[in-house]
Structure 1
Amino acid sequence: MKRRLPPLNALRAFEAAARHESFKAAAEELSVTPAAVGHQIRTLEDFLGIELFLRLNRSVELTERARRVLPGLSASFDAMVDALSVLDDPDETNVITVSTVPSFAVKWLIPRLERFNRAYPDYDIRISASIDMADFRRDHIDCSIRFGRGVYPGLKVWKILDDTIMPAASPSLLSNEDPITSPADLARFPLVHDDSLRFDPMTPDWRSWLTAAGVDDIVDWRRGAHFSFADHALQAAIDGVGIVLARRSIAHQDISEGKLIPLFEAEQPLTMSYWFATVPEKAEQPRIIAFRDWLLAEAAE
């Protein structure tokens, strides 16, 4: 029997729009306009002779028949990506493409890569830094390092590193002031706010930290500069802008080099950790095992 398939572009537009339940989000993924997505979906609906979406006032909703076909169609596109991967340049088998968040890349991973290069000279690392979760197949990612709770369905996961948080300041900020001996002394200094983990209500910010220390009526948590990236907040503290609530993982290098000084002895553990993740079919590849084991050894050290 001769196969009679709809146009591939129409199928791609439908699969993306159905996954997101949004023409706009599908358009952003496919680098086209929402109108173009809508046109392709109407082409597919005309071809199939059925309605795939209910057009509502401000949104779209999948019909029940469209919802049933989506898993198989998504799996088919993933299978095509996997099939085409055999065409990859054989010389690329020595490359390890790692997705991670920018702050971890800059402050933790990159300063250690020279040691990986010495231990594994036959492998080359490519860093793909983004705050978004990687799509391993679409983005050609081999493995990922993420900060979270380790729940990543469909992936093989290993914990790399737990983390803590603590106040820290630059020596220059502290040099012209009386010593800080208690949290109440923070009232004399500006604060630096790291907003990168505001999505997690369990992560302490200055307000909750000062409340736990019993000085929220003495130190105004509203004061100070805000930064959306953790490494930017650390750099601001290094430059004397104020005192930051620093994550030990990404502040470690700056503390060891004397650029930041931890204040007080107590460090508060975080509920989230750093995790190494990869797709099951790559988990046993020698290059992935080598990089994973090196990460675990570095974190343990």
Structure 2
Amino acid sequence: MVDPLPSLSALRAFEATARHLSMTQAAHELHVTPGAVSLQIRDLEASLGVSLFERRTRQILLTAEGMDYFATLRTAFQLVREATASLTARRRGNALTLTCTAGFATHWLLPRLQRFEDTHPDIDVRISASHRMFDFERDGIDLAIRHGLGGYEGLISERLVDDELVPVCIPAIAAALGADPSPDQLAGYQLIHDVYRRDWQLWLAAAGATKVDASRGPIFSDGNGAFEAMKSGFGVALMRRSFLEKELAEGRLVAPFPLGLTSKLAYHLVYPGTALERPAVAAFRRWLLSEAKA
């Protein structure tokens, strides 16, 4: 048997009063009288069998039990507020949820997102950074960006980012390599890998390197770890040019070798066929494809 909950009105009165530490302010927020708030809290205390407030002259304070109860209820009511805001925003058609990897979000999407927000200030974009696969309908996902070969059954898949992988390092390492380095000079540096460890092997073979052990170096579970290790000067990493265009342009990072590695793998925009019926989703898709093309 499920234990019965206290009156929702009483819980709202308590949560608002505890937040303001004022029945008058709570009453103003809830559009009732202070007397009604006081009565609801007394009924709540009676049903719980504990005192939630210590009442003093012109002041109320939470008791220890009240503080514990408020800590939990504050979180619960905040979750309700967020869920309600998300639901109403989606019904108005001006909110969308995108899922992508943390690396894509950090290095490609977020540096560009302000341009979309400047032209579509009424659209609320919510980003869920995750590697796991989602059920679009069940999880409330509108669009997904996934790294792979594309071709997801029952979904539309559009190739988004497929530029070259190039070795990237900090300026100090690039200076040590010299103005026109040989790929074999990488034998003296750590090769930083993400989960696609074979990329270095393919790049070194294409570059004609014969003295570099492609299997040497640490492996990171995602691109962000490899990027941070490279940025700290730990070694050289293979990264997509488009992910680092700002750092490369400003000279904070260097691509010392001109050769890039192309791959069948790419980032794809994935969505169900009905997703574009919502204007906000259609607008964001158009913007993503335009940014990728640029």
Q: Give the partner amino acid of 1:122.
A: D
Greater than 4 Å deviation, 4+ residue runs: 176-180
Match of 2:253 in 1: 260
| Rg larger for | 2
Following the alignment from structure 1 to structure 2, what is the Cα–Cα distance between the partners of residues 174 and 162? 25
Q: How far 1:119 sits from its partner (Å)? A: 0.8
1:287 matched to 2:280? The reply is yes
Q: 1:211 aligns with which of 205, 211, 215?
A: 205
Aligned partner of 1:118: which letter? Answer: D
- One-letter code aligned to 2:222: F
Percent pairwise identity: 39
How much has 1:211 moved relative to structure 2?
A: 2.9
Q: Deviations over 1:13-37 (max 9, x none)?
A: xxxxxxxxxxxxxxxxxxxxxxxxx
Q: Measure how far apart 1:176 and its partner are.
A: 4.5
Deviation string for 1:178-227 (max 9, x for gaps)?
A: 445211121222221122x35xxxxx4222322333323x1222332221
Separation in 1 of the partners of 2:293 and 2:166?
20
Shift of 1:270: 1.2
Cα offset, 1:143, TM superposition: 0.8
TM-score by length of 1: 0.64
Counterpart Cα distance in 2 of 1:282 and 1:222: 42
**CA distance, structure 2, for counterparts of residue 138 and residue 296 of structure 1:** 26
1:183 aligns with 2:176: no
Contact 2:203-2:261 at 8 Å conserved across structures: no
Query: SS of the counterpart of 1:127?
Result: strand
Q: Distance in 1 between matches of 2:182 and 2:124?
A: 47
The residue matched to 1:280 in structure 2 has which SS?
coil
2:237 equivalent in structure 1: 244
Match of 1:91 among 89, 92, 103: 89
Alpha-carbon separation, structure 2, partners of 1:243 and 1:125: 34
- For 2:217, the equivalent position in structure 1 comes to 224
Q: Is 1:130 the counterpart of 2:149 in the alignment?
A: no
Could you say if the C-alpha distance between residues 178 and 282 of structure 1 is closer, same or farther in structure 2, counting changes exceeding 3 Å? Answer: closer
* Partners of 1:107 and 1:253 within 8 A in 2: no
Q: Which amino acid aligns with 1:90?
A: T
Asked if structure 1 preserves the Cα contact closer than 8 Å seen for 2:207 and 2:259, the reply is no
Gaps of 5+ in 1: 1-87, 199-203
Cα displacement string for residues 143-200 of structure 1 (whole angstroms, at most 9, x for unaligned residues)? 11111222111112222222211111110223355445211121222221122x35xx
Name the CA shift for 1:95/1:188 in 2 (closer, same or farther; >3 Å): same
In structure 2, the partner of 1:109 is 109
CA contact (8 A) 1:102 1:130 kept: yes
Q: What are the ranges of 5 or more consecutive residues in structure 2 without an aligned counterpart?
A: 1-85
Which structure has the highest helix share of the two?
2
2:291 pairs, out of 289, 293, 298, with: 298
C-alpha distance in 2, partners of 1:104/1:257? Answer: 20
Query: Where in structure 2 are the equivalents of 1:28-39 lying within 5 Å?
Result: none
